[in-house]
Amino acid sequence: MNWIVLIIGGLFETGFAISLGKAQQTSGREMWLWLFAFIVCVSISMYLLFKAMGGEKAIPVGTAYAVWGAIGAIGTVIAGIIFFKEPVTFWRMFFLSTLVISVIGLQTVSNHG
């Protein structure tokens, strides 16, 4: 269950990064709405990270933070491509793939350690 909580927290991390990007592209009331979305997403994301590191099947702090950050980074790169028209290059996708492999590896060794 803690892994599911951590994954959802990572998705909210993507949400807060997207909110900041959208806030930079807007002004006035719309900017403030995006900043409010940022505050909500960062609060939920941090709380879910906190919850994933506690309880009966706690995820170790280093692993939880690395996986949470990677999920946010992966989601933000994908969202940047979709919403901000960021470039899709071989090297961006190559290194994104290595990040995905690393997250899977961390999850695998954390379950056995």
Give domain limits for the chain: 2-112
Q: What is the pLDDT of residues 11-37, one digit of tens each?
A: 999 999 999 999 999 999 999 999 999
Stated pTM of the model: 0.85
Q: Are 59 and 3 in contact (CB under 8 A)?
A: yes
Q: What is the pLDDT of residues 84-101, one digit of tens each?
A: 999 999 999 999 999 989
Q: Are 23 and 34 in contact (CB under 8 A)?
A: yes
Q: Are 10 and 45 in contact (CB under 8 A)?
A: yes
User: What is the distance of C-alpha 98 from the center of its chain?
Assistant: 16
- Measured between alpha carbons, how far is 82 from 37 in angstroms, rounded to an integer? 19
